[in-house]
Amino acid sequence: MTTVHDFTVPDAAGTATPLWQYAGRVLLIVNVASRCGLTPQYEGLEALHRRFHERGLTVLGFPSNQFMEQEPGTDAEIQEFCRTTYDVTFPVLAKVDVNGPEATPLFGFLRAEAPGDFGPAYGGFYDAISRLRPDAAADEVAWNFTKFLVDREGRVVRRYEPPVPPEDIAPDVEALL
């Protein structure tokens, strides 16, 4: 059975990072962007990471420029932004595509394992994204700050759509720890 631990991704310096190194840890994998209306979620992600890191949580950020080019910087610029603006200590890896033919295989796997529930229940946010991406496939990452919770064995447990604030995920993280 394939798990998140079977994938290798580049870090911000371009070095191959095998995700098996996180075996035994709960992961929250998030596609992030520095020029998005949801960018302040970095603060909540960092708070989750600091609150639960010692108990076994690691947040992994994956910058993506696929949504209205809201992550245009280089990997070095993204690292600097995360450090200086939000004091991010969790790993922010290399910029990747999360949808389409160039999507990193990790996100293809995450999307297949947890297709999501992005729909009218998300109100105005859903309406706005639906106008911007009317032809998006149901399993696609809808926007920046889509979050995937992964258990200690590397199995995808749940997907959280972009408007779900990180603090709302804390009970689910705690249950896995």
Q: C-alpha dihedral over 53, 2, 6, 81, to 10 degrees?
A: -50
d(CA 24, CA 116): 25
Instruction: Please state the rounded mean pLDDT for residues 104-128.
Output: 88
Catalytic-residue membership of 82: no
Pick the catalytic residue: 6, 10, 36, 136? 36
**Mean of per-residue pLDDT scores for the chain:** 95
Helices (H) and strands (E) in the chain, counts: 5, 6
Give the largest Cα separation in the chain, rounded: 42
- Per CATH, the homologous superfamily of domain 4-172 is Glutaredoxin (3.40.30.10)
Q: What is the pLDDT of residue 130?
A: 85
Instruction: Please state the rounded mean pLDDT for residues 131-141.
Output: 84
User: Which residue pairs from 126-133 have beta carbons closer than 8 angstroms and sit at least 24 positions apart in sequence?
Assistant: 129/162, 132/68
Is 2 a residue whose pLDDT tops 90? yes
pLDDT band at 120 (very low <50, low <70, confident <90, very high): confident
Out of 11-20, 79-88, 123-132, 160-169, pick the least confident: 123-132
- Model-wide pTM > 0.85: yes
The two beta strands, 57-63 and 26-32, are: parallel
